[in-house]
Every structure is written in C-alpha cells, then in structure tokens.
Amino acid sequence: MILVFVVVAVVVVFAVAATAVGRGGGLETAEPDLVWPWLPAQRVSAEDVDSLRFAVGFRGYRMDQVDDVLTRLRNEIAVRDERIAELEQLVAQQPPSQSSPPR
C-alpha cells in the first residue's frame, strides 16, 4: 500500500517537473490582463471620451492610467482653447460685411 503511494507521488512530481521545464506541452502564453485606455493619436472627440474604460485595480481604477488620460485631455483642451481665441481675434479684426439694406 505504501509502495503505491510512493509510486503515485513520484509520477506526480515527475509530471509537474516535466511541465515546469517545458516538456509535455507546457503552458500556453498568458494573455495580458492589463489593457491601456485607447485614445486616437490626433483629435479626441466626445465619443472617444465616452468610450474610455480604465482597468480596475485593487482599490479602484488605476491611477496612472487616469492621470495619463487626464493630462492628455487637458493638453488637447488647452490647444483648442488657444485656437478658438486666435479665430475669435481674427473675426473681431475683420470689418463688418456690407449687407443689403433692411426692407
């Protein structure tokens, strides 16, 4: 009886060791479980922001991901605000257009 347990234990230890060193097929490559939020390389739209999803960490969202996205959005908003201010200034400098007299 003890001999059976010893033989089974040796077989189990051998199978585990063979799998660990890559014999017997081994384990498949693990898929990454951490996916970074995706934003387009250029202009970010409201739909892009709506579709953002962050990985959930031990105590909530991953702060590094949220910080990266918020920094990117802040920078893009600053660029847009500067462009809007430039365009508003150009419009203000243009002379009023001559329109037909009111009827």
Mean pLDDT score, 10-38: 74
Average pLDDT, the chain: 80
Q: Confirm if 87 and 63 have CB atoms less than 8 A apart.
A: no
pLDDT of res. 96? 78
| Residue 56 parent element (H or E) | strand 56-57
Q: Determine, yes or no, domain membership for 13.
A: no
Mean pLDDT score, 44-65: 78
pLDDT at 23 over 70: no
Residues of the domain holding 67 = 37-94
Q: Determine, yes or no, domain membership for 55.
A: yes
The pTM score is: 0.46
Q: How many distinct structural domains can be found in the chain? A: 1
Which pLDDT tens digit goes with each residue over 70-99?
Answer: 888 888 888 888 899 899 999 999 887 766
